[in-house]
Amino acid sequence: MKVIVVGINHAGTSAIRTLLTQNPELKVTAYDRNTNISFLGCGIALAVGGMVKNMQDLFYCDQIRLEDMGAEVHMEHDVTSIDYRNKTVTVVDLKTGAAKQDSYDKLIYAAGSWPMDIPGIPEKNAHLENVMLCKLYQHAAELVKKADEPEIRSVAVIGAGYIGIELAEAYRQKGKKVTLIDFENRVTARYYDPEFTDRLEEDIRASGVTLALGERVVDFRGEGGRVAAVVTDKGEYPADLVVKAIGFKPNTELLPDAEKVSNGAIKVNGRMETSLPDIYAIGDAAAMYHAALRQPMQVALATNAVKSGLAAACAVNGVAGVQIESVAGTNALCVFGNNLASTGLCETVAKAMGMDVGSSFIEDADRPEFMQDYGVTWIKLVYEKSTLRLVGAQIGSRGEVNHTEVIYFLALAIQKSMGLLDIAFTDVYFLPHFNKPFNFILTAILKVVGLDYEAVKKRV
Domain count for the chain: 3
Of the pLDDT bands very low, low, confident and very high (cuts 50, 70, 90), residue 372 is confident
Whether 336 shows a pLDDT value over 50: the answer reads yes
Of the pLDDT bands very low, low, confident and very high (cuts 50, 70, 90), residue 457 is low
pLDDT at 32: 98
Same domain for 82 and 196, yes or no, is no
Same domain for 254 and 237, yes or no, is no
Whether 261 is in a domain gets the answer yes
Of the pLDDT bands very low, low, confident and very high (cuts 50, 70, 90), residue 454 is low
Where in 311-435 does DSSP place strands (E)? 331-335, 338-344, 357-365, 376-384, 390-398
- State how far the Cα of 48 lies from the Cα of 59, in Å rounded to an integer: 16
Same domain for 220 and 271, yes or no, is no
Whether 324 is in a domain gets the answer no
Whether 456 shows a pLDDT value over 70: the answer reads no
Q: Half-sphere exposure of 40 toward its Cβ, with a 13 Å CA cutoff?
A: 15
pLDDT at 458: 56
Across the range 140-146, mean pLDDT stands at 96
Whether 326 is in a domain gets the answer no
Q: Which amino acid is at 114?
A: W
Cα-based angle 61, 312, 262 (whole degrees, multiple of 5):
105
Question: What is the span of the domain harbouring residue 282?
Answer: 2-45+55-114+249-316
Same domain for 262 and 157, yes or no, is no
Whether 158 shows a pLDDT value over 50: the answer reads yes
Whether 56 shows a pLDDT value over 80: the answer reads yes
Percent of the chain with pLDDT over 70: 98
Across the range 277-298, mean pLDDT stands at 97
Is position 314 annotated as part of the catalytic site?
Answer: no
Same domain for 210 and 177, yes or no, is yes
Whether 322 is in a domain gets the answer no
Same domain for 253 and 106, yes or no, is yes
- State how far the Cα of 230 lies from the Cα of 240, in Å rounded to an integer: 10
Same domain for 388 and 341, yes or no, is yes
In contact, 62 and 13? CB cutoff 8 Å: no
Computed over every residue of the chain, the mean pLDDT equals: 95
Same domain for 411 and 372, yes or no, is yes
**Residues found in the chain:** 460
- State how far the Cα of 309 lies from the Cα of 281, in Å rounded to an integer: 9
Query: Global pTM?
Result: 0.94
Is position 334 annotated as part of the catalytic site?
Answer: no
**Annotated catalytic residue, options 10, 74, 77, 290:** 10
Domain boundary among 216, 246, 276: 246
Of the pLDDT bands very low, low, confident and very high (cuts 50, 70, 90), residue 451 is confident
Write the CA distances from 356 to 100, 103, 337, 386, integer angstroms: 53, 49, 33, 8
DSSP for residue 118 = P
- State how far the Cα of 395 lies from the Cα of 372, in Å rounded to an integer: 23
Whether 14 is in a domain gets the answer yes
Q: What is the pLDDT of residues 387-416, one digit of tens each?
A: 999 999 999 999 999 999 999 999 999 999
Between these two residues, 458 and 256, which has the higher pLDDT value?
Answer: 256
Across the range 226-244, mean pLDDT stands at 97
Percent of the chain with pLDDT over 90: 95
Q: What is the pLDDT of residues 191-216, one digit of tens each?
A: 999 999 999 999 999 999 999 999 99
- Which phi and psi (to 5°) does residue 182 adopt? -155, 145
Domain boundary among 268, 284, 316: 316
Same domain for 269 and 226, yes or no, is no
Same domain for 141 and 229, yes or no, is yes
Whether 325 is in a domain gets the answer no
Whether 269 is in a domain gets the answer yes
Same domain for 33 and 82, yes or no, is yes
Enclosing H/E stretch for 206: helix 194-206
Of the pLDDT bands very low, low, confident and very high (cuts 50, 70, 90), residue 459 is very low
Report the range of poorest mean pLDDT among 62-76, 249-263, 324-338, 360-374.
360-374
CATH assignment of the domain containing 381: 3.30.390.30
Whether 402 is in a domain gets the answer yes
Same domain for 109 and 127, yes or no, is no
- Which phi and psi (to 5°) does residue 232 adopt? -110, 180
CATH assignment of the domain containing 68: 3.50.50.60
Across the range 423-450, mean pLDDT stands at 92
Domain boundary among 246, 272, 301: 246
Angle between helices 302-316 and 10-22 (to 10 degrees): 30
